[in-house]
Amino acid sequence: MTLARLQSGYAQDARATAEHYKLGATRYETARLLNPRQWKELWSRCMKGENFDAMIDEIAATPNYEWKYNDDI
């Protein structure tokens, strides 16, 4: 294996790691800004089988996300 190929592999790993941490930071910042009523909605949807990370990603990607509060719980 050549040095250039090794370096290329390390660079790809570093980029993948950076993207992983960037996604985690975005999810954290989005979740940190939620109010209790929004947390309740996400919890309710999660208990019905929705993926929590996918919900947080959707909120982060949607400016002016429209909440549909579920007060049944």
Answer yes or no: is 47 within a domain: yes
- Among residues 33, 37, 68, the alpha carbon closest in space to that of 56 is found at 33
Instruction: Inform me whether the pLDDT recorded for 8 exceeds 70.
Output: no
Between 30 and 7, whose confidence is greater? 30
Answer yes or no: is 18 within a domain: yes
Q: What is the pTM of this model?
A: 0.68
pLDDT at residue 64 in the model: 84
- Among residues 59, 73, 69, the alpha carbon closest in space to that of 38 is found at 69
Answer yes or no: is 34 within a domain: yes
The count of domains in the chain is 1
Q: Write the DSSP string, 4-43.
A: HHHHHHHHHHHHHHHHHHHHHHHHHHHHHT--HHHHHHHH
pLDDT at residue 2 in the model: 63
Answer yes or no: is 24 within a domain: yes
pLDDT at residue 14 in the model: 72
Give pLDDT tens digits for 11-59. 677 777 888 888 899 999 999 999 999 999 999 999 999 999 999 999 9
Separation of alpha carbons 68 and 44, rounded Å: 11
Paired tokens of 34: 């939620």
Answer yes or no: is 38 within a domain: yes
Answer yes or no: is 66 within a domain: no
Domain of residue 23 covers 3-61
Answer yes or no: is 72 within a domain: no
